[in-house]
Every structure is written in C-alpha cells, then in structure tokens.
Structure 1
Amino acid sequence: MSTGRSEKLQGNKGFTLSETLLVLLAWSVLILCLTPIHQSTYESVMETHVIEQFKEDVFLIQHLSMNNHAYHSLRFNADQGYYSIYDSLHRKTIVKTTLPEGWKIEMLTLPHVVYFNQQGTIRKAGTMRLSTLDVTYKITFPFGTSRMRIEEL
C-alpha cells in the first residue's frame, strides 16, 4: 500500500525554483516596459480632460451671465493654480477647479477676474497661457465673440 502512494507523489511534479524565477522575471520585465506607456497615456487623457473642463466652465459662466445676471465672474489664482466661478450677487463660489500638480497659469493681457455681459461676450478681451508638464497652451478671449480660442504652442 505504501508503494502506491509514493508512486503518486513522484508522478506529481511541480515547477522548479529556477523555472518559477524565470517566469517571474519575464513578468517583471513586461510590467516595467508597459508602465511608462500607461503613464504617458494617463497624462494625455488628463490633459484633454482639464482643457475640456475649462471650456465647459467658460461656457457655464457665459450661460449664467446671459440667463441669470451679469454678476458672475471667472477668477484665476495663478499663484495657487486654480480658477473659480464666483457669484458676486450672492457672494459665493459656484465652481472651483484646481489644476493638476506642475501646471501653471500665466496671465498675459487677460485680467485675473473675467466678466461676461448679458450677451455672453467678454467685457475685457485678452490672452493667457496654460502650461502643462509637456505642452503650453495660449488661450485667447477675443473681442466681440462669445467663444475663446485655445492654441497649442
């Protein structure tokens, strides 16, 4: 009886230590090679999301100025890296958006506080720069139109 059991144990061979280490090494190298690709993809998606969110926030303040009242403003805080939509009539912040770490806002000719009139047109036109870790965008708010232009530099 004991000989049958010992034959079964000898028939069930597992992986050797060297085979296991070789497979773990191959997986480690594969993961290390793919991680930078995922990081750059993540940064690209995040950059697109932040730019689209900024466009939506500008559209929101234009909409609020046209439909509710012209007391809404878009306020940029370049030192702390955020912008907000502020309601001066009710004295409260509606939306505050913080930019990702490493991004910078540089106000060129655009004032730090931007107002839109009841037609959705900016009161004082100007330009600003939004710099990511890799790319710089020039954002222009022109006279007489209700849209802004975003150019990659």
Structure 2
Amino acid sequence: MLWIKTLHILFVTSWFAGLFYLPRIYVNLAQVHDASTKTCLIGMARRLYRFMLPLAILALIFGLWLFLGYGIGMGSGWMHAKLTAVILLIIYHLACGRMLKKFEHDTNTHSHRFYRWFNEIPVILLLIVIALVVAKPF
C-alpha cells in the first residue's frame, strides 16, 4: 500500500503543478493583445490542460484505491470534508477547461485581475486538504 500512497502523492503533486500554472497562463492571455503571442499562449495552455487530465485521473484512481484499501477515514468528518475539497478541485479543473475554450474562441470576458484571484483557489484548497489529512480535526 505504500507504493499506492507514493503514486497518489506523485500524481496529486503533478496535477497541482498544472492547476497552479494554467491560470497563470490565463493571466498573461488576458493581458496580451498581440495575435502571435496569444496563439503561442493558447497552445501552451491547451497542451498543459491535455497533460493535466491524465494526472488528475491517476491521482483520483490511486486516492480511491487508498480509500478502499485502507478504509481511511470512512465515516469520519475530516474525510467527508476532504472529499468535498477534492470535488471542488475537480470542478476547478473543469472550469479551467471551459476558460480555455473561451480563450480559443476569443470570447473571454474576464480581466487579468480575475485570473490572478482565480489562481489562488487551488492554493487554498490544497491547504485545506493537507490540514484535514494531517490534523484530522473531526
């Protein structure tokens, strides 16, 4: 089971790298007016998003494996809260995909300030998840 935990941590960390970086690309996209730079940034965002999806799936698969294998936190409040945060991260990931489509179709209506704030959401959710897993407060 320690190998499963190792792989879960690896894929969660890799997925989060994308969740931190993709909205940063959106900040730049919301500020740029040059067509060639926009094309380059959209290409970067598209490739990153495509790479993030299998990482997210693998993180979820190994997390589920741990949950079922260890029975960690079944019936515990902290696990329910953690799973809620994971669902919010999945929604955030999907929202990033929708935003990418808007940039691809040149229909983005948000400013770079919006994306700067949007970029903080996974940091807060990661802090919550880590605190819940380590402290198991309830």
TM range (shorter): 0.3 to 0.5
Q: Give me the TM-score of the superposition, normalised by structure 2.
A: 0.37
Higher Cα Rg, which structure: 1
Structure ranking higher in strand proportion: 1
Greater RCO, 1 or 2 (C-alpha within 8 Å, sep 6+): 2
Structure ranking higher in helix proportion: 2
